[in-house]
Structure 1
Amino acid sequence: MTDTSPASALDQDPPRRGWPKVDKVWLALLAALLALAVLDRAQLGPSLLFTAQALWDILPFLVASVLIAAWTKATGLDRHVSRVTAGNPARAIGLAALFGALSPFCSCGVVPIIAALLAAGVPLAPVMAFWLASPLMDPQMFLLMLSTFGWPLTLAKTGAAIGLGLLGGAVTQGLVRRDLLGEVLRPGVAPTCCAAKRSLKPEPVAWRFWQAPQRRATFRASGLETGHFLLKWLALAFLVESLMLAWLPAESIGAWLGADAWWAVPLAALAGIPAYLNGYAAVPTVAGLIELGMTPAAGLAFMLAGGVTSIPAAMAVFALVRRRVFALYVGLGLGGALLASLGYLLWAGGGSAG
């Protein structure tokens, strides 16, 4: 998120007159809706309703993250957070993974929280741990899985959520130490160079930022910019999700994964990317597929990979972070899902989930 403080404003070029710049994301969203109206008019209404409902469901988290991000920038707290969270990375990663497994966020819903954390200067390693663990498990999901699958598969997915967070945080920390990732946020999302230089000697936090007109302006500008950025990408992601649910039923893909062969688990992990399922919808679907012959290990891979690296969530992540970080996120999600599922296969022998 760009630094809108007065000092950085002086470094910016004056606005140019002419035609207003068209936002490519909104343009893509409009083009998708027009194409849908022409090619499948019957799906237009359900997709619009699905997108609006999904945005409404995520609105509290979206508003909270936008306000927090704007507040940390207006007070100057964002220049201190990175220092506070930089110590003891192992403990930070462990707590982030554990908290992620207890948080009620889906793969798209966690994106606004991640944006606020990264913009506030929280190190990438604990953020990655939270990012990977959060979509996979929460208390409600635990109870739903327990009633459907029983203890073995439920505990396996819970352990996989925490383990994937720990693994992702540790790998990310190692790469950061070797300076192999570089900048995290994309241009236009990350602070400007001037802001980064000033953060080396941060000023005291102005908790009552509303008393200063310049800080109020920073709060307003940062909030609008962050909110617009997240809203447009999440709207496009949810629209894509609605089309995938309508045109690419999970049952059809799951039917291909019923074979009890060595490639069932890797194929299930890969199939989880296009066959997006939110965690709650995945439970009855996978339960039905297991009854039809899918191994529990393949079902676990399908739920883990789909929860982390689904196309709608990946779209929002791609808009937020640079390519190296995005590739790391996808690689950790797929690799972690595959390792956890193969581990469960060896432990349980691919037997029944109950």
Structure 2
Amino acid sequence: MIIDFLQYQVLGMRFLNDLIGMGLSALGISLESRIGGSLQFFLYDVIKILILLSVLIYVISYIQSYFPPERTKRILGRFSGLKAYTLSALLGTVTPFCSCSSIPLFIGFTSAGLPLGVTFSFLISSPLVDLGSLVLLASIFGFPIAFAYVVVGLVLAVLGGALINKVGKEEQIEEYIRNLRANAQTEPSVMLGVQRRAYAASQVRTTVHKVFWYILIGVGIGALIHNWIPASWILSVLGSKNPFSVLIATLVGVPMYADIFGTIPIAEALWLKGVGLGTILSFMMGVTALSLPSLILLRKAVKPPLLALFFTVVTGGIICIGYLFNSIGYLFIH
């Protein structure tokens, strides 16, 4: 089938895994050994992710060149209510790939006078959901799971923003941000095609340089889990028989700092060990949306009550998503 070919050969690059396996075997390294299996997992995932990442960042950045911050502010300012939250969450899919990079834009939107909930919908969505996460997840878990991840990420961003807007207060934004006056909103200069291509290429270089070590660490942890830690150990902590597996995965993910590309290899290894889909999604969302460094940066923009509200709403949403998908995960397994 065409979908299978796209998933396994185009996105999954199974041919690359076979080539690496043949190369290691030619060097006398047994693929059945732990070292050989780990090397194959590591080399295959690093090369595959870097190739897909470079292509995806180029495409996303090219699209993003049509949405500079000033234009984005004006677009969001035209809507209110559920439409505004939804649009803000969708715009988050074509902006930075990690939570720390999203916070400067969040501050800019807040200082421009956009509603509290709209800016938080953007802040939740931006690191969680993008074209890159869809394609990379599809390459490993298949399109149904990838689409499910994107949908629940957007729903969390929309509902989280709406709830924060209802409960939070504008005065809980730090005073220096509330006192900022938005710069004159002149229409940004229109890029030419060659400028857009140059911008996209520069974003590829910048982003790959920034996330390269996180990818290596993430793949290294994934290889360790996949080939060295017994499945029984992992399942005793994160398996379906442990009713606290989702809570544990979420809380373990929060202190970590990585983007979606660094968490996918770990998620892949957990998936192969039999960990539930909901537990894996909770871990990924905890890392990308609630990393400790991003919370520290966000504290510079909002006061403790609003920060606590953001943390509580997003954590609660992630945990609910985890338990939901653990209960219906069988629908995504063929």
Please state which band the TM-score falls in when normalised by the shorter chain.
Answer: 0.5 to 0.7
5+ residue gaps, structure 2, are 1-56, 188-209
Equivalent residue number for residue 273 of structure 2: 292
Distance 1:151 1:85, change over 3 A: same
AA in 2 matched with 1:278: D
Question: For 1:84-99, what aligned pairs fall within 5 Å after superposition?
Answer: 85=77, 88-99=80-91
Equivalent residue number for residue 153 of structure 2: 161
- Cα displacement (A) at 1:85: 2.6
Deviations 1:72-106 (CA, angstroms, capped at 9, x unpaired): 8xxxx9xxx79x83853221111111222343431
AA in 2 matched with 1:124: L
Distance 1:335 1:141, change over 3 A: same
Distance 1:103 1:316, change over 3 A: same
Q: Work out the CA distance in 2 between the residues paired with 1:272 and 1:120.
A: 32
> RMSD across aligned C-alpha pairs, in angstroms?
3.7
Equivalent residue number for residue 21 of structure 1: none
Contact 1:168/1:332, CA 8 A, preserved across alignment: yes
Equivalent residue number for residue 313 of structure 1: 294
TM-score by length of 2: 0.60
Q: Work out the CA distance in 2 between the residues paired with 1:173 and 1:146.
A: 33
Distance 1:116 1:308, change over 3 A: same
Q: Work out the CA distance in 2 between the residues paired with 1:263 and 1:304.
A: 17
Equivalent residue number for residue 141 of structure 1: 133
What is the aligned counterpart of 1:189 among 165, 172, 177? 177
TM-score by length of 1: 0.56
Distance 1:206 1:267, change over 3 A: closer
Q: Work out the CA distance in 1 between the residues paired with 2:295 and 2:289.
A: 8
What is the aligned counterpart of 2:312 among 324, 327, 331? 331
Instruction: State the number of aligned residues.
Output: 233
What is the aligned counterpart of 1:304 among 264, 285, 299? 285
Greater fraction helix: 2
Higher relative contact order (CA 8 A, sep 6+): 1
Is 2:266 the counterpart of 1:259?
Answer: no
AA in 1 matched with 2:247: P
- Cα displacement (A) at 1:206: 8.6
Q: Work out the CA distance in 2 between the residues paired with 1:188 and 1:169.
A: 22
Q: Work out the CA distance in 2 between the residues paired with 1:278 and 1:98.
A: 18
The structure with more radius of gyration? 1
Amino-acid identity (%):
23
- Cα displacement (A) at 1:352: 6.8
